[in-house]
Amino acid sequence: MFKIDLQKAYDTVEWTFVRQLLDALNFPSEFKTMIIQCITSATYSLSVNGEMFGYFQDDVLLFSKGDAKSMMLLLQAFSTFSKATGLEGVIKRIEAVCRNFLWDNSADYRRIPLVGWDTICRSKDEGGLGIKDQENWNKAMVGRLVDWIAVNRDSIWVHWIHNNYLKGQDWMGYKPSMNSSWVWRRICKIKDEMVPGYTNGKWHVQPDGYTPARSYEWFRGSRPKVNWYKVVWNGWVIPKHQFMGWLVAHAALNTTSKLVGFGVEIEDTCCICALAEETSEHLFCECEYSKRVVREVNNMTSWSYPESGVLEWCMQRTGTKLQKGIQNAMMLSLIYQVWHQRNKCRNEKFMLCPERVAKHIIEEMRARVRGRDKMQLNLADLEWLKKMHLLE
């Protein structure tokens, strides 16, 4: 007979995750059902030889053959289970999968990422992609348990904690003993981080109490806003262009001059014009190819030319929200197209002429304008769109 402490699995991991894990570890189905029932229902009892037994939430009793082999197998399975529900390793793995997926659409990308994970996890207005970092997100989730203990929530688990660990001690100042479980020590450590957020036992950071979503922001801490985020994350820009603009803002495109800077032995001149070093600045502003694209766009619309960096040009746009949005979207489209043509030129020794690229940028924008409800537009914007030849 085994008595298992299910404290680790209770309230600290997702049920679906536990279920998948039990499947993956090939536990017998009756065992899986029992575990899931134990951790999801508030109370439960077992029937042994027709008699009902009540059991406490954190315990489960298992019966197995008494031979050494069966026991070893069970113990091995529990140790794997407890390591996996120990979360830390799982979080690191999940994060690695997310990271790799972003750069390669696959779980095992092994090259150096273009932008650091720390930057990616910032909010969009702070220059990131707004992806949640798993470590702080996990803290915010575990923080909910910390808060339950603080407000003495009516739950079996909280009662159990108070009776077995706190025993009347002040939760804010509580220190766990060294031999308490890993999960309990982890909860206490997160509690220590949260102490400044409490006044008289109440979570003062959010007026209506603790929520993981908003407390995540608190754990993460905020950073200064970047000045270009409205250029990139505006509704007129299509997502793949947004991503490209975001890379340019972080100077993250692997232009040849950047690769040479990393020590890669490669010809660093612009493969399109062969007249200058290939930097983002050259490719999108100075290169004769981009200039011709802009001139062509200019023939059909009425566009001025970026003399400084492209994102600076975007930030200097004037006019209504729509007018700024459209000019930004067209410039980011240009960046995307030029980079795409540059790759074609490099890999296939073939590229489209500037006229075709310009036509493509304009047609793409016309299609987006057509998709908008004209009734929603004001007169000034309609006039402007006409002048830009974007209503055709």
In this structure, are residues 334 and 237 in contact, taking their beta carbons and an 8 Å threshold? Answer: no
Q: Judge contact between 185 and 174, C-beta under 8 A.
A: no
Least CB distance to Zn ion at residue 279 (A): 10
**Looking at beta carbons only, is 260 or 377 nearer to Zn ion?**
260
d(CA 13, CA 84): 10
Output the smallest distance, CB 328 to Zn ion, in A.
Answer: 23
* Pick 282 or 324: Cβ nearer Zn ion: 282
What's the rounded Cα separation, in Å, for the pair 339 and 64? Answer: 64
Q: Name the one residue in this structure whose structure tokens are 């011709």.
A: 292
Binding mask 248-287 for Zn ion (x = CB under 5 A): ----------------------x-xx-------------x
Return the number of the residue (18 or 248) whose C-beta is nearest Zn ion: 248
Nearer to Zn ion, 141 or 283 (CB): 283
Per rule CB under 5 A, is residue 351 in the interface with Zn ion? no
Locate 207 and state its tokens. Answer: 């007026």
What is the spatial distance between Cα 67 and Cα 378, in angstroms, rounded to a whole number?
82
- Looking at the DSSP bridge assignments, the partners of residue 256 are none
Over the window 286 to 325, marking each residue x when it contacts Zn ion by CB under 5 A and - when it does not, the resulting string is -x--------------------------------------
Nearest CB to Zn ion, comparing residues 77 and 273: 273
**Considering only residues 111-170, where is the footprint of Zn ion by CB under 5 A?**
none
Is there a contact between 116 and 53 (Cβ–Cβ < 8 Å)? Answer: no
Q: Which two tokens stand for residue 239?
A: 């997502």
Cβ 347 to Zn ion, closest distance in Å?
Answer: 17
Per DSSP, 114 falls in state S
**Number of residues engaging Zn ion in binding (CB under 5 A):** 4
Comparing CA positions, the residue from 224, 214, 205 lying closest to residue 141 is: 214
- Site of interaction with Zn ion (CB under 5 A): 270, 272-273, 287
